[in-house]
Amino acid sequence: MPIKTWELDPNFKNEIMGEAGGERLASCFQCSTCTLGCPITEIVPSYNPRKIIQMSLLGMRKEVLSNPDLWVCLICQTCTARCPQDVRIADVLSAIRRIAEREEEAGNLKIDSPRPLFDKAFQHQLEKYGRLYDIGLAKEYYPKKEGSFIKGMKAMMKDYKDFGMRMFKKGKMGPKAMLAPKVKGRAVIKKIFKEMGEE
């Protein structure tokens, strides 16, 4: 990718380091250990966390924030455990994603990934039920992703026909999964979410 020097934002690294989790960005010395151990690179060959870090340090703000690969990290923390510079890459990526979400909210960017919708739906289930409720997650996520309830339900049926059946066969899904979970101390969880929101 050619670098357009006149478009570089030298303040971008400071912007990331000013976010919670982004503080260690500038410690990266580009050894590539993170990318070599990342399980996602086998599934998404274009994904390269070292490169995202490098582009961020160079100030390629526009390219980094609009990169769909920013959203494929699983936050498995393998890279964080192996990084010799303690960069905490998963946290740095989360910090960059928050900047991208704010830019989208401000109308400056369109995120090319359904991941933020999924993450929000996931959080809402935890907040509401105290743990993940798959049906609630699917009911919130698919219509938002597809733009309408009908289209969302069709997309959900298509996906569930495949991985839903596989989960069912492995005992990870069944009649019990249809019922909303009842977790003790839900008020505490709600309070945690409320305080996180206030922060």
Q: Which residues bind ligand SF4 (CB under 6 A)?
A: 28-34, 38, 40, 49-50, 53, 73-79, 83-85, 87, 89-90
Helix (H, G, I), strand (E, B) or coil at 39: helix
Minimum CB separation of residue 22 from ligand SF4 in Å reads 12
DSSP label at 164? I
Judged by beta carbon, residue 25 or residue 156, the one nearer ligand SF4 is 25
- Cα 28 to Cα 53: distance, rounded to the nearest angstrom: 8
* ∠ Cα 91 87 102 (to 5°): 35
Give the CA radius of gyration of the chain: 19
Q: For residues 94 and 71, is the Cβ–Cβ distance under 8 A?
A: no
Judged by beta carbon, residue 39 or residue 148, the one nearer ligand SF4 is 39
Judged by beta carbon, residue 40 or residue 156, the one nearer ligand SF4 is 40
Minimum CB separation of residue 83 from ligand SF4 in Å reads 3
Minimum CB separation of residue 28 from ligand SF4 in Å reads 3
Minimum CB separation of residue 197 from ligand SF4 in Å reads 25
CA distances from 117 to 4, 19, 111, 165 (A): 31, 21, 10, 24
Q: Which residues of 50-63 are buried (b: 16+ CB within 10 A; e: fewer)?
A: bbbbebbebbbbbb
Angle between helical axes of 115-129 and 134-146 (0-180°, round to 10):
150
Minimum CB separation of residue 193 from ligand SF4 in Å reads 23
Judged by beta carbon, residue 53 or residue 138, the one nearer ligand SF4 is 53
Judged by beta carbon, residue 87 or residue 121, the one nearer ligand SF4 is 87
